[in-house]
Chains A and B, each alone.
Chain A
């Protein structure tokens, strides 16, 4: 998976965007139609395999989408190579960390 090349990054940005859009609509409609009554309901709903999987795919898509977007912004505005490399390295490690953290949260839900 080469997210650093132009056309492939562009395709990944669009693919992740489509899933993010579907997920956001689905989750918003769920929160509106049947908001979690209390903690137990909330945790049980989140622990369902389909729901947890939808969230896992959401976080993967989010990290890919954020990476391509922030990378585009950095390449537009930060020109000295050393600064660009430093900022991009910080961004990718932050996103990998956030992705790992989100998976720990999802994996840690108990019935």
Chain B
């Protein structure tokens, strides 16, 4: 057996991922994250509809920077999942299948989700 001849590359971080792969794995991760926050979302909806006091408490809650930061991260996850999802639906319809178009649309997904996050920050 010849030692040290076969290329071994077990460090995933040394491989440059194409932008489509980054969008795809982020779609999974954000989907998982959004799944985990479903109970929190239902609880917040229930709480906000409970009474005047509870409604005001939720408005107060979102004035703290930690909660605001967490909410913004979740908003980014939702935006990414939304835009990447629309891209996948278009790919299902055979739209944008060429390599160059697919790369451009993947980059557009990454940019659009961050831009919409800043837009939301500016609107609020």
Chain A residues with CB under 8 A of B45: 102, 105
CB distance from A81 to the nearest CB of B (A): 22
Number of interface residues of A (CB under 8 A): 24
A32-B55 in contact given A21-B85, A46-B49, A73-B32 (Cβ < 8 Å): no
| C-alpha spacing A70/B28, complex, angstroms | 9
Residues of B within 8 A of A39 (CB): 51-52, 55-56
Chain A residues with CB under 8 Å of B38's CB are 62, 66, 95, 98
Indicate if the CB atoms of A70 and B32 lie closer than 8 Å.
Answer: yes
CB A29 to nearest CB in B, in angstroms, measures 11
Q: Chain A interface (Cβ within 8 Å of chain B)?
A: 14, 17-18, 21, 24, 32, 38-40, 42-43, 46, 62, 66, 69-70, 73, 95, 98, 101-102, 105, 108-109
- A–B complex contacts, Cβ < 8 Å, 26 sampled: A14-B92, A21-B86, A24-B82, A32-B123, A38-B52, A38-B55, A39-B56, A42-B48, A42-B49, A62-B38, A66-B34, A66-B35, A66-B38, A70-B31, A73-B28, A95-B38, A98-B38, A98-B39, A98-B42, A102-B42, A102-B45, A105-B42, A105-B45, A105-B46, A105-B49, A109-B49
